[in-house]
Structure 1
Amino acid sequence: MGPLFSNVSPQIRAILQDQQAQPLTLRQGQVMLGKIKELLPNNVAVVQFGHHQITAKLEVPISVDQAYLFEVLSTGELPQLSVVSQSMSNVSIAEQIQLILAKLNLSPTLENRQFVQELLTNEIPVRQADLKQALEIFKNNQTPETKELLIHLLKRQLPITEMTLNAVKAVQSNQSINSQMIDLYQVLEQQPSSSVSANQLIDVLAQLINDEAISGQPTPLTNQQILTLSSLLQQANISGADEGRVLQANQSIESSASGNQTTELNITNEVVQRMEAQLALTDKQLFQFKKVLTQIQHQAQFPSPRSIEQLEMLLKNTTVTHKLIQHLPSQAVESLENFISQPNQANLTEWIEPLTNLINLQLPSENKDQIYNLLTRLDRANPELFPIKDQFIIHVKNYLLNAGLDYEYQIANEDQQGTNQTGSLKQLILQSFTDQSVGGREAEQLLNHLTGQQLTLINETANFLHLSTSIPGLFGQEDIEIEFYSRKDESEKIDSDYCRIAFYLELDQLKTTMIDMNVQNRVVHLTVYNDQDLSDLLNQFKPLLKQGLARFNYHLSTTSYKPFPDKRTDFAIKPESQATSIQSSRLDVRI
C-alpha cells in the first residue's frame, strides 16, 4: 500500500487494541532473552519476555530475578524452554548480542550486531534458521528497505526467503495491481500463444480488469451467459423436491430466450432481486437455517419442541435477526418478534414461510466464483442495474474468489473437500510458467503481488483481526485500498459492533480521498479526508447515509471533513490515543 495508508494503519490499530495486550506467540526453535519472575514446583517458572509473561517448564534449575538466553524446545499448554547461556543479568547489551551470534554460529559483523540489536529492541523472538537466512539475504542487499522488510517478516513469523521478501515488497510498492494486470494483458495480446493456459490467462485478466481499461467500453453479457447465471443461481442448494421444478423452468427459459429480449430482461430482473435479498450469512448459518426449516416443513402443523428450540437458538444472534427483519414483510416481522419474545408453535404461523422463501434465495456456495464473475460483468455493462452497495460487494467478491488468493488453501483441502479452484489468476500464471508459454517481468511482478497479498491479507491474534488488501478496477483504473480492524466476539469471529474500516481511494473527481469509519457499539463516526472542502457534500448526503446504515441496525452519529496535513508522513488519526494504547500494551500476558 502507499505511504499515506501505511502511516494511518498503526494509529487505527493502536486505537482498537484498547487496553488489550497482544499475546506472545512461541514457535519451536526460537531464541530470546528472558528474566525469571517466579519459580514454581517441578522446574516450572514464570518467565518475563519484554512486556509478556509465560509459564513454562525448564530443563535445569535457575535463579529468580536473573536473565537468561532461552531456546523454545516445544510449545503447547505448558511450553518447554532450554537455558542456552548462564545468567546474563550483569552482561551488557553488546555482550548479549555477541553471545547470541556465537550461539547461532554467526559472524559478529557490525551489520549483524545492529540487526540483532534491533530484534532485541523490538522484542522479536526468532528461530536460528530464520535469523541465519535473514542475515544471509541482508548481506547481499544491505539497504534500509531490505532490513525493514526482513524484520517485518521475522515479526510476522513468515518464511524467510527471497520469494517472500519480493512478494511483500511488491504489495508495499506504489504500483497498483490493476495496472500490473493491464500490463500483463497487453503483453499477452501482443505475443499470442497457442498454449491453452496462456489463452485462459488472457480471458481471466479480461474478466478481472475493468473492460473500459482495455477496449474503451464494457462488454455486455451474451444471452447464453445470462442463462448460465440464472441456472447457477437456481440449481445449487435446492431440495430434491425442487429439482424437477427448476429443471423444467430452465428448459422453458432456454427454449424461449433465443432472440427474446423480454425474457432476457426478466431473467436480469430476477438476478437483481436475488442480489437484493442477500443476507450475508455464513455457510454454517445458512446450513443451520435450511436444516431446521426443512425439519419444520416436514413436521407440518406440529413442529417438535426440538425444532423450535433450534430455531430459537439461531435467532438469538442479534446480527442475523436484524438482517432477517430488513427483508421480511412487515406482518412477518411482527410475528417473528413475538416468537423471539415467546418461542412457541403458535407464533410460527405468519413468518415461517416468508423466512423459508428468503433463505432459499441466498446465493449458493457452489460455483460462486463463476457466479460473481458473471455478476461483475453484468454490472459493468449495466451500471444502473444494481445499487451501489451490491456493486461494491459483487466486485470485491469477484476479485477475492477469482484472483487465487486462496489457491494453496484449495490445493491443501482438495482431497478432504473435493474442491478444485480451476482457472484462478494465480493458478494460470503458475501454469503458464510451467508450460513456458508466457513469462517475463510482467507475469513475475503480478505473481509477486498476488503472493504478497496472500501473506499480508490477514493478521490475526487471539482477540484481534486486521485485514489489509487492494481491490483493483472498482473505480476506473485505480485500486481501492481497504484496511479493516476488528475485535473478535465470543465465538472468535469478527465483532461487527466494534470495528474500524479505512478506505484509501483515487477518484476521478475528488482525487485522493481517505474515509475513516469507526464503529463503537454499532454507532458510526465517519471522517473524510480530502484536499477539497467536502463539508457541504457530506451534509447533503448525511440523511441518505443515516437511512442506509439504519437498515442494518447501525446509528450514524457524526460525519466530518478534515483536510490532509501538509506532511503526508505525519498523517495520523486521533494521535492522542497513542499514550493509552502504548501503556496498555505493556500489560503482562500469561500463556
Structure 2
Amino acid sequence: MDPLQLQASSLTKSSTSRQTTLSLPKGQVFEGEIVKLFPNQTAALRLGGMTVTARVEAALNAGQRYFFQVHQNDGIPRLQVLEADQQALKSSSADQGNAAKVLQALGLEENKANLSMIRHFQSEQLPFSKDMIRQGAVLLKQAGAMNQEGVQLLSAMNQKGFPLTQETFQSLYQAEHGKPLSAQLQQLQNSLQQLQTSGFSDSRTAAVSNLGRTLQETLSAGTMNLAGRTDQTNQLARLFQLAGAEEAPGSVRSGAVSLLQKAGVMPAGMDTAEGLAAFKQTILKPENQTAVQQIWPEMGAGGSGRKLASMEPAEMFQTLMTRFTPAKGEAGRQQLQQLLSLLQQAGGQSRGVQASQDQMQQMMQTMLARASGTAENQALTVLLQGSFANDRTSGAQGFSQTAGQLTQLLQQLGLHHESGIARQPASSGNTPEHMNADNLKQSLLQHMASLPQPVRDQAETLLHKISGQQLLSQEQQGQYQQTAVQVPLSLAGFHTDLSIQWEGKRQEDGSLHPDHCRILFYLEMEHLGETVADVQIQNRSVTVHVYNDTEKPDKLMELIQPYLEKRLEEQNYSLNAVHWRPVNEEQNVYKTPTASYSGWEGVDVRI
C-alpha cells in the first residue's frame, strides 16, 4: 500500500490502535469503565486504552461500564451518566437493545443508520455526540455508504476534526478506496475525447475543450525523461553513439563496441580497418540508399554537406554512429532494425538481427550480464548516468530538473489551489469562478457542471480524489510533521502514480530539518512492479532501503552507487549504504512520524 493510501487507511483503523491523544469536548458521549472510585464523586475511567480522571455526578460501581456525557470540561472534567435506564445501558454487550436505549437517551430516532453507528462506537470504544449521529446518518444515506466502511470513515472524520460534510466524506473515501489518480486521469481524458465529436451546444463544447486541454497539460507535466528517454531503442542508440563519439575516452568507445558485439548487435571485427571499410562499402551501395536516408535523413549520400563517399571509413563510422538518433515509438524501432541489418550485411552475415521490444530488452540484459573489464564497465556507467540525468536548472531556486518538474506537476494538479486563491489581492476582483483555469482542480470546478452526466460523474470523482489528497497531505504530531503527496507519472509510456512521504522535525520556517529526516517513495513500475524506496537521513548520512521482489541487480547497483555517492556529496550528504530487500519486508516501513523517531512516548489527554 502506498503512503497516501496508508495515511487514508490509518484514519479508519486508528481506533483499533493505542490512542495517545484524546479530545472530549462538552456534549461528547463515550462508553467507559469505572476503574476506581475516589472521594468527592471522583473516579478513574478507562476509555479504550486510556485512563481519565473525572468527577461523576452519580452513584456508580467499580468494574461496571456506563455511557457518560461531558457536562463540563473546565479543570477536572465533570461527567454525567447518560439519562436513561442505567441497568439497560450497562454495556456488557453491544446488542441492539443497548444501542436503542442510547438513541432514546439522546432523543434520536431508532433507525438502521443510527443503530449501526452506535454499535460501531461501542465496539471500537470511541466517543461520539448527538449531532454527530444525526448529521452522520444523513451524510451516509446521501453517500450510499450505509455500511461498516462508511461508519468507520465517519468516526475517523470526527476524531480528526474534519467537517462532517458530503464533500469531505467523498474526498476521504476516494483517497482510501478510489482508483489510482493516473487511471482516473486517463479515463476522463478518453471520455472527453469521445465527446469532442458530439454535436453539443457552444457552452458545453467549450467546457469539454477547455477541461480536455487542462487535463492534457497535467498529463504532459507528468511525462518524465522527455530529453533522456530510457527505453531499449534509445539505450542501444546511445551505445552506438558512444561507439563513435570522438570526444569520448578511447576506453569508453572500445567498451561500447565490445558490449554491442557481446549482445550480437554488431559483428566482430567491425572496429578494425577491414570492418570499417566493409561498413563504408555497405553504406554506399545503391540498393541501401533508401535505408540510409530513413536512418539518417540529413546524412544520406544525396544529402547536403560533405559527401559520405569522400570520408575515410573510420570518420564515416564515427559520423553516422554519433548522429544516430531514432524517432519515438515504432518508427524508431524500425530505424534501429535497419541499422542492425546494415551492420550484419557489412559483417558478411546473411541472417539479420531482429529488434522487437522483447529482443531488445534481452540484448540489454545480455550486455549487463556479460559486461566485464574496465572499458565495458565505463561504457555502461556513462550509459546509465545519461539515463538518470537530473541537472540543476538555472532558476533562482536552483531546483534539479526532476524536482522542478514535480513542483510544476503539483501546481498543475491544483494541490495548492486554495492557498493560491488566498494569496490573491482583495482588490483584484477575481473570484474562484472567474479565475483562469490554470490548474486541473480549478478547471474541474469551473467546467464540471457543463458536462453530460456520465462524464460529470468521472470528473466529480477525480475532483474528490484531488481534494482527499489535500486533506491528508499533512499530519502534525508534536515537533514532527508528516507530509504525503501523490502525482501521476508517465514513464516511457507506462502510466503510474508516484507517492512521496516526508517525515521529520519541523523547523521554525515550516520546512523539515534536512539533517534528520526520512523520505518514502512508492512506485508501481512496468517491469519491476511494486517498488518502495525508504531514504533515511541522520546527521546528513543517507541510508537507502529498496523493497522489490525482483532479484537484486548487483551489476547495476555496482555501477550506479558511485554516481549516487557523487551526487549526494554535491549536496553535502554522504551515502552510508544501499540495501535491496523483498517487498514483504517493508510491512513495517510505514509508521507515524512519532514512531519513526525514538524518545517519543506518553499520553496527551485534552478534555
The aligned residue for residue 538 of structure 1 is: 557
What is the alpha-carbon distance in structure 1 between the residues aligned to residue 473 and residue 53 of structure 2?
31
3-state SS of paired residue (1:153): helix
The yes-or-no answer on 1:166 pairing with 2:170 is yes
The aligned residue for residue 234 of structure 1 is: none
Distance verdict in 2 for CA 1:158–1:182, change over 3 Å: same
What is the alpha-carbon distance in structure 2 between the residues aligned to residue 44 and residue 413 of structure 1?
51
**Cα deviation per residue 1:93-114 (whole Å; 9 max; x = unaligned)?**
4376454333334466787556
What is the alpha-carbon distance in structure 2 between the residues aligned to residue 502 and residue 562 of structure 1?
15
The yes-or-no answer on 1:426 pairing with 2:441 is yes
The yes-or-no answer on 1:513 pairing with 2:522 is no
Q: What are the residue-to-residue correspondences of 1:151-550 with 2, within 5 Å? A: 151-173=155-177, 175-192=179-196, 194-195=202-203, 198-210=208-220, 386-387=391-392, 390-411=400-421, 414=424, 422=435, 423=437, 424-435=439-450, 439-473=455-489, 475=491, 476=493, 477-488=495-506, 494-536=512-554, 537-550=556-569
1:488 Cα deviation after fit = 3.9
RMSD value over aligned CA atoms? 5.1
Distance verdict in 2 for CA 1:426–1:558, change over 3 Å: same
Q: What are the residue-to-residue correspondences of 1:123-142 with 2, within 5 Å? A: 123-135=125-137, 141-142=145-146
What is the alpha-carbon distance in structure 2 between the residues aligned to residue 488 and residue 3 of structure 1?
19
Please point out which of 100, 103, 107 is paired with 1:101: 103
Distance verdict in 2 for CA 1:30–1:489, change over 3 Å: farther
What is the alpha-carbon distance in structure 2 between the residues aligned to residue 208 and residue 147 of structure 1?
34
1:55 Cα deviation after fit = 7.3
User: Which residue identity does 2:564 align to in structure 1?
Assistant: L
Distance verdict in 2 for CA 1:515–1:435, change over 3 Å: same
Q: Is the 8 A contact 2:482 2:501 kept in 1?
A: yes
Q: Is the 8 A contact 1:7 1:571 kept in 2?
A: no
1:443 Cα deviation after fit = 1.5
1:527 Cα deviation after fit = 1.1
What is the alpha-carbon distance in structure 1 between the residues aligned to residue 226 and residue 460 of structure 2?
28
Distance verdict in 2 for CA 1:53–1:61, change over 3 Å: same
3-state SS of paired residue (1:172): helix
What is the alpha-carbon distance in structure 1 between the residues aligned to residue 545 and residue 226 of structure 2?
34
3-state SS of paired residue (1:101): helix
What is the alpha-carbon distance in structure 2 between the residues aligned to residue 55 and residue 398 of structure 1?
51
Distance verdict in 2 for CA 1:502–1:162, change over 3 Å: same
Q: Is the 8 A contact 2:449 2:456 kept in 1?
A: no
Please point out which of 563, 574, 577 is paired with 1:558: 577
State the TM-score, normalizing by the size of structure 1.
0.55
Distance verdict in 2 for CA 1:187–1:80, change over 3 Å: farther
- Identity in percent: 25
Please point out which of 29, 32, 35 is paired with 1:31: 29
What is the alpha-carbon distance in structure 2 between the residues aligned to residue 7 and residue 460 of structure 1?
13
Segments of 5+ residues of structure 2 without an aligned counterpart are 228-386, 394-398
Q: Is the 8 A contact 1:21 1:584 kept in 2?
A: no
1:208 Cα deviation after fit = 1.1
What is the alpha-carbon distance in structure 2 between the residues aligned to residue 545 and residue 208 of structure 1?
30
Distance verdict in 2 for CA 1:538–1:122, change over 3 Å: farther
What is the alpha-carbon distance in structure 1 between the residues aligned to residue 73 and residue 424 of structure 2?
29
**Cα deviation per residue 1:13-58 (whole Å; 9 max; x = unaligned)?**
99xx9xx9732234554322346789999999886543446677x6
Please point out which of 47, 50, 59 is paired with 2:48: 50
What is the alpha-carbon distance in structure 2 between the residues aligned to residue 451 and residue 543 of structure 1?
41
Q: Is the 8 A contact 2:448 2:460 kept in 1?
A: no
What is the alpha-carbon distance in structure 1 between the residues aligned to residue 30 and residue 537 of structure 2?
38
Q: Is the 8 A contact 1:37 1:64 kept in 2?
A: no
The yes-or-no answer on 1:589 pairing with 2:604 is yes
What is the alpha-carbon distance in structure 2 between the residues aligned to residue 450 and residue 4 of structure 1?
12
3-state SS of paired residue (2:580): strand
1:181 Cα deviation after fit = 2.3
**Cα deviation per residue 1:145-204 (whole Å; 9 max; x = unaligned)?**
444434443443333444433323323346332232233334334434744555432332
3-state SS of paired residue (1:24): strand
Distance verdict in 2 for CA 1:7–1:445, change over 3 Å: closer
3-state SS of paired residue (1:561): strand
**Cα deviation per residue 1:491-539 (whole Å; 9 max; x = unaligned)?**
8753444433221112344332111223345443211111212351334
3-state SS of paired residue (1:126): coil
What is the alpha-carbon distance in structure 1 between the residues aligned to residue 478 and residue 427 of structure 2?
27
User: Which residue identity does 1:461 align to in structure 2?
Assistant: Q
Distance verdict in 2 for CA 1:49–1:494, change over 3 Å: farther
| More contact order relative to length (CA 8 Å, sep ≥ 6) | 1
Distance verdict in 2 for CA 1:111–1:511, change over 3 Å: same
The aligned residue for residue 383 of structure 2 is: none
Q: What are the residue-to-residue correspondences of 1:63-78 with 2, within 5 Å? A: 69-72=67-70
User: Which residue identity does 1:210 align to in structure 2?
Assistant: S
Which of 508-517 and 485-494 deviates more?
485-494
The aligned residue for residue 6 of structure 2 is: 6
**Cα deviation per residue 1:417-440 (whole Å; 9 max; x = unaligned)?**
978773232222122134568953
